[in-house]
Structure formats: C-alpha cells, structure tokens
Chains A and B, each alone.
Chain A
Amino acid sequence: MILKVDGLPGAEVDRYVRERDPRTGKSLLPWIDHLFYENGTRVENFYVRGMSLSAPSWSLLDTGQHLQIKGNVEFDRFTQHSYDYLSFLPVWLANIAKRRIDMPGSEVLDELGVPLLIDRYKNYERYVSFQTYERGIHYSLLEGAGKNYLATHSPEELFDEWTLGIGARNMIYDEVERELIQRLNDPRVRYLDYYTSEFDHAAHHNRDRATHLAALQELDGIVGRIWTAIEASPLAADTAFIVVSDHGINSDERYYSQGFNLVKLLASAEGGGHHIITKRRLLNDYALKGIYPLVPLITTTTPDSYYLKGQSSDYPTALVDFDGNERSGLHLRDSDLNLLHILLLQLQRRDLAPDVRRAATAAFFAALDRRRPEWQRTLEELQEELGALHRLIERQRALVVAQPKKWTPKDAAVGRDKEALRQAVRLDSWQGDELDYTEYARTLENLLALKAENVDPAHIRIPDVIAKGAMGTRNNINELQNYVVGLMPTGLQLAPDGALDMARSFKRIDYFALLRNTTVRNNVQPGLDNHPIDFLAAQLPVEALRSATGDPDLRADDCIWLYRGDDRQALVLARRERGDKILLRYLPIARLRQDADGRISFERQAWRADLPLKIWEDANVSLPAGADRAAWLSGWHTDVEWLHALHQTEYSNGLIGLHEELAKFPTLATEPDVPGLTRDEQLMHRFRRRQRTLIETDLFVHASNHWNFDVRGFNPGGNHGSFQRVSTHSTLMFAGGANTGIPRGLIISEPYDSLSFVPTVLTLTGQLPVPGAMLSVGYAQAPGQFPGRVITELFAAPRQPAQPVSTDTTGSRH
C-alpha cells in the first residue's frame, strides 16, 4: 500500500510530529508518529533526484529508472506538439470518446519501453488511484462519490455541510478511500495506492502554519484510516504501508513567494520581442476562456516583435514551460531560422537597394550553407524514420482492426479491453506524429533545396521553407549568447567590402546576461534577492569541451554549463562508467564563450563563494574526514559520494539533479544499436530518441530563493521546482505487518534519492532479492536493472524470506 503525497516536505512533517497538541498531549500528527516514528522506519534524508517537479519526479518514483520526462509540460521543437503530463481533464474527456486510456506520462514511458511499478501487477491485482502516471480511468468513482456522500451523512449533517460549502474534491478523495479500503479486503489485490495533492495545493496558496498543519492533519487522518483498514484486512501481516512524496516545497512563514513574469520579459523589446507559446493560460483565473477544459496551447502575442508583428499564431519564437514555478524551461527558435526569416522578409521588400539585396541574398545563402550539412543529415534521418513509422502504423492498423469489439466481464477483469483501446490510442498517436513530422520535413526539404544559383529568395513563400510553429534545432551557446531577435533600427547595413555587416544589421541578445542581470523594482521583502533568476544552465557539447582543453581529466560524457554572471560560472562534468556508475565533477570557471564555429573558451578559476549552487561557502558541506575542501570538491566523485557531501547544503543534491535533468539516459527503446533489431526497429528507436531530444530546452532557468515564474496565477504560499533543499527534501516512510520485517522505530540517516524507491519496494515485496542475500529462484527482475541503490537498512534485521507476490513473472505491463 503506497500513499503517494504530492509535495510533502520531510522537515515539516518531522517538525509537526514532534510537537505536542495541548488538547490531547499527543503528537500533532498522531498517526504518523505512532505508525512510522514509533513502529516503522523513516528515511530522514530522502530527496528527489532531478528537479523538484511533479511529473519528472513521480516518473522516477514510479519507474526506478533515470529521468526521461523533463518537465510537467514538454514541447516538441519541430512540431510544437505539447506533452502536458498533469492535465487530467482532456484525458478523461478523450477517454469518453475512446481516444485515450492512459495519462500522457504513462503513454510516453510506454513508447520509451520504461515500465511502471504498477505494470508488475495484473489488472485485477492492483488498485491505482487518480495520479500523474495513471492507467485507465475510473468513472465509477465519480458516480460513487455523490451517492456515498449522500448515504453517509444525516440530513442535519448535509444541511450544515451545505451551509458551509460542500467540497467536490473531498467527495472524490473520500470515494477513493472508500474504494481502496474495500479492495484491501480482496486477497487477490497485491498493489494499492492512494494519491493526494492536497498538501501541495494548500502550501502553494498559503504559507501559514495553521493551513499547513490542517492539511497535514487531514493526511494524518488518511494514514490512520488506511492503516486500521490494513489491520482489518486478510493480508494484514504481509502488507507494507509506505508513504512517499515526490518533492518538498519552499514555503516559509516569513516570506511570500514572489512571481517574476518571464513571458512578459521575453515578449518585451529588451527581451527579444517574442511571440510566446505556453501550455498554461496567463492569469487563467481571470479569463473567461479559462473554463475551457481541453487546455490548448496559449499564444501570448507581443506588440514589440521586431519582425513578426501580427504573426503570433504562425510564428511564435519562444516556448515557455514554467510549471513547478521555481524553474522554467525555455525553447527559443533556432537563431539561424530567425536570421533566414528576417532576411527573406527583407528580400521580399521591393524598396531594397540592389547592393543591399545582393548582400542580403549572399548572407541568406551563407547562413543556410553553414547549417546545410547538419540540417540535411537531420532531414535524411527523419525521412528514414518516418518511413519506418509509416510501416509500423500499417501493422498497427491491422492489429487494431483485428481486435474484438466486445469484451466479456472476464476479459475486462484482466484488462484486455483496456489493452485493446491502448493499441488504438497508440495508432492514433503515431498517425499524428507522422503527419506533424512529415510537415516539418517538407519545409526543411524545401529550405535545403534552395540554392544561390537557382532561386530568387524574393519569390519564396516563407511558410514553404520555414515551418510554422517550429523552433528548429536547439540553439548552441554561441547562438544563445548572440541570439538574433530582429533588425537593428537602422536596418540592413553593409560592410566596407559590400557584404552585409552582420553585427550592425541585426539586433542580438545574450540571453544568459539578460536573464541573470534582470532586477525588479518591487521587491518589498528584506532578505530576498533583487535578481529573480539565480542561475541558468545549458548543455554544452562534450566535443567542444574536448577541443577547448587538452586536460584529460576533463574528459566527460556530459557537460553542463552553469551561469550566474560573467565571473561566476561552472561546468558540471559527468562520466558514465560501467554498471550505471556516474562520476561527476564541478569545475569553477569564468567567461565561457562559444564562437560561431563552435569553439569554446573559458577561464578556470579557483573555488570561491557565490558560484552557482553556492557550495564553497555552505557550512553544511560534509566531506570525508581529513579531506581538503578545495581538493575534494575539485575531484571526480560518484553521484553517491556527492550526495553524501552535499545533501544538507542549501541546494542539496542539485549537482546530481542538474545532470539528471539535462543529460540523456538511454532506454531499451531509444538505443538503435542493440543487437538483433530489424532495420525498422533500429529506425524507430532512433526516432524515439529524436523525440526525446526535441523536447530538450535551450535554457534551464533556476529561480532565486522565494521567487517563482508562475504566471498562470499566483502561488504566494510557496513553490517547488528548484534544487533548494527545502524543495528537494522529500518524505519516505515504511510500516508494515509482522511478516514484512520492516524495522520499528528505525531512522535511516543515510541519504537516498528517488531512484532508490522502486528497487526497495521490489525487494520488500520479494520481487528482488535482498542485497547480499543468496539469489534464489523466481525473481523476474535482476537487481542490476535498476540504477538506484536499495535502502539496505530496511533489511538489516533477520526476516522471513519474502515470496514473490506477483503471479506475473513475465514483466507484462498491463
């Protein structure tokens, strides 16, 4: 039984558990105290690995695998397709029309071949509540909620409830609880979960103790009711009860969380005059359109666009995901596409002087030719992949047509009806992909077909060569430091040699400097930074790093650049070793630049205060005994060693989290080079990898403490999303019946992160062997398939060998 609590901060739970209620003399959270503190085990240093953001964080907890889902919302740079992992209403409505069956996150993980923990249990063996990675929709719940609400209240109670205001949310949560308690009594059910986001909601809105405590006491009540139901169930002795949370929350009674409007900045002339796409309506609560349930893409049109006035629906140039709110992911259109677009618009002017036209034409083709090899390769690969996708669609269509149209109750019990619908949904999704990518490929092909010798750019129809809505490939550092946003007020300028003067013709923005240096006027809370943006992070190609320095010690498989100012920068380097081991290094640097040819230069600097993540000055860094601070911090260490050293610091495991967020982790469905694959399978694997690459943002923006980027509404109570310890420090607690062997009154101080959750649960339920124990028979999954560490302290005491509980040893997903 897993109680999944969104945004439950470990430290806050601990504070209230230790406080006594003057009325009762008991803990303010008596059930959590009784069950997990006195009679269970808690992991007091449990962190989200990656951003403290629900969709990514639950994906780690629900799969036990490295991060594939990088935000609550992701955008595909080629097609503008959005993956909105939290909006459940569109899925529910689509499910009525038999067009969806699972939440988007589950669909994406299916495509990537990453199974969920719940997939280890057959349909009838599990009870899964409403949540981010849900499979199937339970409409019966809504019906039961109303009926049972009326049935369980007396007329007087109903009258009072009506007077005070009946809460539909509570009715649904009550019904989930009722159903769950019923299913606990079904001995066939081996997995149950209950998801609640009530605390998270309360803490986003309110920072005060009373509101937080009330929400926690509600949760404590749920813990008590579930536990007493477990005790009364037939499998009580064998049932483990786990409370887990995806992240903490940065809520402080002393401060309101202040919002900063990144969308407004990017839309402003000084921010680049972008038309911007978001997946959340700005000031949604104040918009009549906000009641539309299907959550469309929202376009913010700017009057300050330099060259795309009135074209916001066709040519947005920025995609912004600000969910979680203490961080944001920014996609900016490929700067060279901007350049080509501007030049095309200029070339289509009739009043352009011939010499300027000539120079502009040359500049257009120079830019195109510079990118031609890369884009040509992309086009060819994409066309190959689309061919494979088309053939896959044909096969899938045949499969779907062959599905039975009616299902018996027995079929429904094992989920065959749902699986059939899932196949149809998959077909639908692939057809959508084919259409969208084909359109992008068409325009790219047209663009690449342009040659200086045979085309007059003045007669080109722009939408035929520059795909509407597409961002193109990701910008490199050079482009982000010299991003083309429009023409200079003086228009195209010629250099003395008659060529276009690129420096004087185009307005360019260094987005690192612009974003970090932005200050506000209305920061009225003493102690808060006037810079809403703490630091920025971007991927850096390791090839460029390699050529920039001959230092073999800087050889890395991944490189991330952190920017907090010109002289306050760092590189996070990562090496992938055998057996999923990750080595990380933090290198303080300054003044990193990338030139137009991709060459990187930077100055190395000694450790100092005020670098990104503020490690050097943090008194809570915990180094091995006798270690020299500078020497140790400058070395390569495993992720676990870094976790030990940094988890108590202000940014806790941010170093590891940044790597998890910005690096790519292969899965079985994204590796084309796996032996034994057919050519089409290889192409589809490459296509899946491409799709994941296309959601990667140009810039990761990290908010300063008590700042947020929410523009949908206001979250003055608190936010999460950052690497601040208060946001990443989460909750994990275990209790269980006599046969589970869960130690009583144990506090585990060893730090763990979310990758440890699934392997630990599987070990607890007997689906993985206890580390160090003799491997016996019947385990479906080898331990090495999970990158996270099992929380071994749970299994230190002698215990009954657990039996594999699932009857399904095939790893069948549904």
Chain B
Amino acid sequence: MNNLSVGRGARQTISIFFSLLFIFLPAAQRTLRAQTPVADTQLVPPAASAPAQSDFRLERIPVAGGAELLTIFGKLPGVAAAERMSQHASASDMEEADQDVPLVTILRDTLGDDVRENDRLRYVWMHTYTRPRAEQRAAAAVPFFYNRVGNKGATKRVPPPVVDLAATGRDVWQKLFWTATQAILLDSYGFMLKATTRTYRRNVDDYRKAHIISALAILSLYEAQTGEQPVFSPGELQEIQARLMLTEKTFGGIVDDIYLQRVYQQQTSQWRDTRGHNWELLRQQAEATGLIFEPLELPDGSTTHALLWVARSDLDANRGRKFKGRFLNIASPWDDRRLRAWQGYTETRYYDADNRVVAADTPGAHAVELLPLALYGLDHPKIPILLVDFRNAFNPKEREMSKRVLEDVARNVLAVSRFDLPYLLGRTVYDYVTDKRGMDINQPSRLRAYSQLKLLLSLDASLDPELRHEVSQRLEHVSLNPLENGRAAEVRLARAQYEALLEYAQRPDGLPAQLDRDRRAEMVPLKHTRTEQTLFRLANTLSFGLYTHREQAAPNEAATALDTTRQLAYHRHFLREVARTSVRVEVQWNIADVRRSLAFIAEHGARADGQTAAAVARIFAHTQDEETQRLCLNGLYRINNETAKDALARIYGDEAQDERWRTLSAEYLRRAAREDQRITPATAKIIAEMGGQ
C-alpha cells in the first residue's frame, strides 16, 4: 500500500513536471542553446532584391561564419488601409503601415563559399509566429476554452523558427515521444491534467500549423510573382515548400528527400483542384439560389476565397422562395428580417440586359444594390468553408467549434481511446459520411482558410476598406486559439521580431554561434556509428530537445569536414533522382552533369552509402554513353560497401553485358578484394572463382 502511494506520488510529481514542460517548453525547445560561443559577425547591407514590380522583395543578409539570411518582405496595402481607417492610428503608425513588412526568413548555411552543392537550408522564421504571453499560455491550457485572449505586446526576443529544414526528423520523434508520454503518463491522472495538457498541445500545434500555412502561402506567392530567382537554385523553393507541407503528416519529417518534388507537385495540384472545384460549386450554388458570387484573388491570381451577395431588390421578389443551403451553410435570405432592415455595408453594381456587370454609364445599365451574406474559403475539401456570416457572427465559430468539442468530449471527458473498436467504427462512419456529404468541419483546412484570409486581407488593396474592416472584425472573433494574435498585432510583431533576429545575427554569441553548434551537430555521423547516432537522437528526444550531441571542432575544421559531406549528399541526391527517373539517362538528363556527379562520387566513394551505389548501378544499366558507364563502374569500385560490390558482381555475371564492362568489373572486384573493401560472402566467392590477378 505504502509502495503504491509512493509510486503514485512519484508519478504525480513527474506528471506535474511534464505538464509544466508542456506549457512552457514548446517555444523554448526550438531556441537552441549554445555550447560554445563563436566568432565575430557583422551585419552587411542587403545584397539583392526582387524585381520592382512585385509585391514582394527579397533581402539577402550575410551572417558571419558563412551563412545568409534570406528574407521575403511584402507590401501589405490591406494593413495600411486598415491603419488609415483606425481612429487611433497616429501619423507615424500610418507611415509605418505603408512600409514593407518582413514576412519569412530562411537561413542558408553556405559554409562561406560560393559552391551551391555544399549549401544547406536551415531555419524558417515566420515573423508573425511568436512565443505567447503567459496569459495566452494559461488560457491555451484551459479545456473547452475556445477564444482569443488579446495580443502579445512588444517583444525584443528572437522569433522561434517554424521549422528546421535540416532536421525535420527531430519533430517527428519528439511528437511521437510526447504522444506516448501523454497516453502512458499524463492521461492516467484524471480529467484535469489530461484535458489541460491535451488542450494545450493542440493549441500549440494549431498555432504553429497556422503560421506554417502562412509561410507556405507567402513562399508560393513570392515564387509566382518573382519567377526564377538566382537566390534559390532550381527547385529549391519548391523543396522548402514541400518540407513545410510535410509537417502536416505525422511521419512527414522523415520522408526521403527524393520525394520532395513529388510532394510539392501533388499537394499544389490538389489545392488548385480543390480551389477550382469550390469556386465552381459556389458559383453554381449562387446561380441556383439567386445569389451573387464574387471570387477574391491573392496577388498571384489564385482565388482562395469568395463572397456571396444578395441583391436587395431580390429580397422582395423571392419572398417565400425555398432556399437550399446545404453547401452554403447560411440561413435563407428570402425571409430574413435582418436583411430587410440591413444597415451594414452594401455595394451598388450595374448590370446590362444580359446580366453582365457593366460600368454605371453604360446605356441600358441598371443599378443593383448588393448586401454581403457570407465569405467562404475555397481550400476546404469538397465544399467551400464558411468563414464569415455577415448576419450571424456565431455561425462560423459554431461550425469551427463543433468537431473540436466532439473530439474534446470524446477524448478528454469520456476518455475514449482512438483505438476503441466501437469509437473507431463510429468515427470511421461519421468521417465517411461527413466527408462524402461535404461538411465543412475539416480542421486543418479551416486553419489554412483562416490563415490565407488574413493574408488576403493584408495583401489585397482592391477590397473596399469598409468591407475589409467588417471582414477583419468578424474574423478576429472566430479564432478558437488563445495563442493567436490579431492581424495588426502580428504586423507589429513581425517587424519587432525581424529586428530582434537581425540583432541576433549580429551578436557573436547569437546566430553565428548557433550556426557553429548546428554544424558540429551535423558532424556527428562522420564520427559515430549508427548505433551511437541513434542513442544521441534518443537522448535529444528524452531531454525534450535540451540536449543535442555535438562534436568538438574549430569552426574552420567543421566547415572543411562538412564541405565534402554536403557535396556528397548533393551528388547522391542528384544521382538517385537521375536513376529513379531515367530509362535512358542521356535522353532525359544533361550527361555532363551526370558524369560530374559520378566523378565526385568516385573520388569520395569511401563515404558513399548503399543507396548511392544502387543509383550508380541503375544509371550504368540505363545509359549507352560509354564514358558514363565507365564512370559508373569506377564509382562502384570506389564506393566501399556491399551494395556496390554486389552490383559489380552482377554486371560481371551478366552474359548479355558487353565484354568490356564485364572485364572491367572483374578487375575492379579483384582490386576491391585486395583493398579489403566491404564485400558480401557471395560476392567474395565470385571473386575467388574468377581467377587471375
């Protein structure tokens, strides 16, 4: 009995400790602490910028120690307009609102040279993403509390990155660890602890997701508006976006890099498909129900949202008319007293006899006064998602909350496990039916729709300021997340956090020191076995990211060691891509590039892995270019692993193969044996049976 109570007490203590960690760690865990400070740094003026026509520009700021900060700035005419409308805005506020806002910064570790192959992208900072205030954190832990609790004030702290592109796997393991801790430990201590920790984690995750979505949207807009940028290598911007997209999937952080282009392509196609689909669904529903549809575009022309209006003159004409609101999720306008007495925002447009919108002075044009009914996001699967109901502010929030409440009750109150069979079956059926019928309760899509709407309101200058103000006000009320900040506050935070980041980049013990620490952590695979690396990773996870193993090395030493490693990774990635996509390499790829990578692999083959060997073997089989084939065989000889030697043995044993290559393979195998390279017993036997020297 006594033992039991001691055990329980210990568990309680541990649980409380974990709860506190839950609440106060997430932002901190991304702020990596220095183990050793590093050299001087200096802030250099911006070096490059995007074409003047764009709403975006890019600033490139070198960081001492061999890196650069790439920051995308945007013009936010929507914010400027909102400031002008605000009665409290001072002249300086308005002047500031007209200036570009830093939106996203990416750290590229260049090792201080111009060699693209050894560059590595690291942190992505979304400048509106910040560490919450204590009150915000406390509110975020309150179960069934679905509201904002004000904004974060001024800050001078460096913003937490939304993702570390070079270590996306870390998030996966930590998430799994937290999930296990929650299920095994925290959930066993009653409703309060369980509900508090789960609610908090959920809000923290959603807050981060919302900012990743915004980052994605900004990168996509930047890419669309500025086209090919010399700052990013071909496909690099897309790979960054792919990594951000993968953060939505549980195991997305450990998906092989080779899939990134595919992820980007499929996901963007999927989003465009959904948008087009919802655009047309909403337009047709508007037509069928007698309403007016108006798409809203982001600066790149993509339509992410749409407004529905009703003509005031139709209210009388359609009195008593049936209204099918299945896909619209709003009340019938035809018998709505609120609309008949509408005093809110209206617009007047002019139509010709064929129902075309025309200029007011067009002969035969008639004026129609339009009342706004609702605003929808078009990125939700299957149906447009209601974001603003101009007659019923609670309607979108109710929809927003519905699934969340259901889940919270099931998981936190009823303590139903996701794997309880009746719950699983019920949930599967419920999900299928809601999905099939197209109900707008998909939470990730809702987050995306809100994030994009905030962006649209900031970027789009064409919206009438009064309408923008109405939409913004309603939007602020819908948010469920206490960690969220208002739109104007986010702009202030972005400026302040960017300043803080620049200051951090200037400090010798700031970003340059962090860069050094990251490089020394990157050196771990060069010095340790796989088992040791796994143990280090485990230690990192168990310490909630506070401990990271790093090698001891001077900055120059680290850069030199990483130069080859990163170039090898670059060429490995390239050759794997070539191997994966080609049935005749020279038809599809620039053969000189392929040869260059093969030559590099051959030169540094000792450190290449089995996947590289497999790619080289496949390239050999899929080219008729002699020089390339020769380089492949040389590469397979130089790569010191069993896969490479097995491949050589297969070429040697293939009687359909050209005799030259069989002879050369045999020669390489013999040499490998003499050099005591890693060879499987089966291949060793083949070598032994070859004879000759």
Contacts and interface: CB of A to CB of B under 8 A. Distances in A.
Contacts of A258: 280, 283
Interface in B220-263: 228, 234-235, 249-252, 255-256, 259, 262-263
Contact of B255 (A163, A531, A717): A163
B276 interface: yes
A288 B436 contact: yes
B269 A206 contact: yes
B382 interface: yes
B581 A221 contact: yes
Interface stretch (B41-49, B121-129, B582-590): B582-590
Interface in B273-322: 273, 276-277, 279-281, 283-284, 286-288, 290, 292-295
B588 A30 contact: yes
B277 A520 contact: no
Contact of A716 (B249, B280, B287, B589): B280
B355 interface: yes
A159 B284 CA distance: 41
B277 A159 contact: no
Contact of B433 (A24, A224, A288, A716): A288
B277 A205 contact: yes
A716 B277 contact: yes
B523 to A, nearest CB: 24
A714 interface: yes
A157 B576 CA distance: 13
Interface size class on chain B is: 35 or more
Nearest to A25: B590
Given A202-B269, A286-B382, A524-B293, A519 B354 contact: yes
A521 B382 contact: no
B473 interface: no
Interface in A277-301: 285-288, 290-291
Contact of B295 (A211, A285, A288, A524): A524
B437 interface: yes
B674 interface: no
B255 A30 contact: no
A225 B255 CA distance: 26
A214 interface: yes
Nearest to A717: B276
B265 interface: yes
A804 interface: no
A679 interface: no
B268 interface: yes
Contacts of B266: 164
B338 interface: no
A519 to B, nearest CB: 5
B356 interface: yes
B588 A521 contact: no
A214 B590 CA distance: 20
Interface in A254-293: 256-259, 261, 264, 285-288, 290-291
A286 B437 contact: yes
A416 B515 CA distance: 74
A717 B290 CA distance: 25
B294 A524 contact: yes
Interface in A504-523: 519-523
B438 interface: yes
Contact of A26 (B280, B288, B588): B588
Contact of A210 (B268, B293, B622): B268
Contacts of B252: 163
Contact of A156 (B228, B256, B262, B588): B256
A524 B593 CA distance: 48
Contacts of B588: 24, 26, 30-31, 224
Contacts of B294: 524
B587 A22 contact: no
B584 A224 contact: yes
Interface string A241-263: 00000000000000011110100
B289 to A, nearest CB: 10
A15 to B, nearest CB: 18
B589 A26 contact: yes
Contacts of B356: 523, 530
A523 B294 CA distance: 10
B272 interface: yes
A530 B290 CA distance: 16
Contact of A163 (B249, B288, B355, B436): B249
A287 B235 CA distance: 40
A206 B287 CA distance: 22
Nearest to B311: A521
A205 B438 contact: no
Contacts of B234: 22-23
Contact of A224 (B228, B286, B290, B587): B587
Contacts of B256: 156-157, 160
A208 interface: yes
A521 B287 contact: yes
Given A264-B288, A288-B433, A521-B292, A24 B590 contact: yes
A77 to B, nearest CB: 29
Contact of B276 (A23, A157, A716): A716
A228 interface: yes
A257 B276 CA distance: 9
B355 A22 contact: no
Contacts of B263: 164
Interface of B: 228, 234-235, 249-252, 255-256, 259, 262-263, 265-266, 268-269, 272-273, 276-277, 279-281, 283-284, 286-288, 290, 292-295, 354-356, 382, 433, 436-438, 581-584, 587-590, 593, 622
8 A-B pairs closest in CB distance? A716-B276, A714-B280, A211-B269, A716-B280, A205-B273, A530-B354, A522-B287, A228-B583
9 contacts: A22-B234, A30-B588, A160-B256, A256-B279, A258-B280, A530-B356, A714-B277, A716-B280, A717-B273
Given A224-B588, A714-B281, 15 more contacts: A25-B590, A157-B256, A202-B269, A208-B269, A210-B268, A225-B583, A261-B288, A287-B436, A288-B436, A520-B287, A522-B284, A523-B356, A524-B294, A530-B355, A714-B280
